[in-house]
Structure 1
Amino acid sequence: MSSTIIISILVGLIVLVLFVGAPVKPMRFLGQGIVKLAIGVLFLFFLNVFGGAIGLHVPINLFTTAIAGFLGIFGLASLTAIQIFLIV
């Protein structure tokens, strides 16, 4: 398929969703989940930046991001404690 056909199909789907309406609840939950994952990535990034001075590094992957994002500071503290116990 050419790119023109793919773009036409995507534009058509967007127009269809605008006229028909998207299911609001699933989109809201999906959006909240994505925002929480983004916050988890930021938490882990700053932990790695500031923890690098003392040799602390928590890998950034989907599992650790989900824990840090959905549990917040407590999840970040748990990941840090687990990493410290694994190092020692």
Structure 2
Amino acid sequence: MNSTLFIGTIVGLIIILFIVGAPVKPMKHIGKATMKLGIGVLLLFFLNVFGGAVGLHIPINLFTVLVSGFLGIFGVGSLAAIHLFIL
């Protein structure tokens, strides 16, 4: 399946959900989770930018984004500690 077709289908379904009227509660939870994941990506990005001077690099993948997004600064700190002391 072509990726642009897939993305277009997903966007179309989201627009139909907004027009028809999606239940508010699940959409609120999805919005909060998306915001937390976005914050997790930003935290990891800045950690990689500023940690590069000391040789600290945490890859940005699904697991690290989930940990840093839902645990916040403590998640980023734990990922950095795992990288420094275990790996």
Interval of TM-score (by shorter of Structure 1 and Structure 2): 0.7 to 0.9
TM value normalised by structure 2:
0.78
1:85 deviation in Å? 1.1
Identity of aligned residues (%): 62
CA RMSD of aligned residues (A): 2.3
Structure with larger Rg: 1
1:47 deviation in Å? 0.2
AA aligned opposite 1:26:
P
Pairing 1:86–2:57 present? no
Q: Return 5+ residue gaps in structure 2 as ranges.
A: none
Name the count of aligned residue pairs: 78
Q: Return 5+ residue gaps in structure 1 as ranges.
A: none
Aligned counterparts of 1:86 and 1:62: Cα–Cα separation in 2? 20
TM value normalised by structure 1:
0.77
Aligned counterparts of 2:27 and 2:45: Cα–Cα separation in 1? 27
AA aligned opposite 1:85:
F
Aligned counterparts of 1:17 and 1:82: Cα–Cα separation in 2? 42
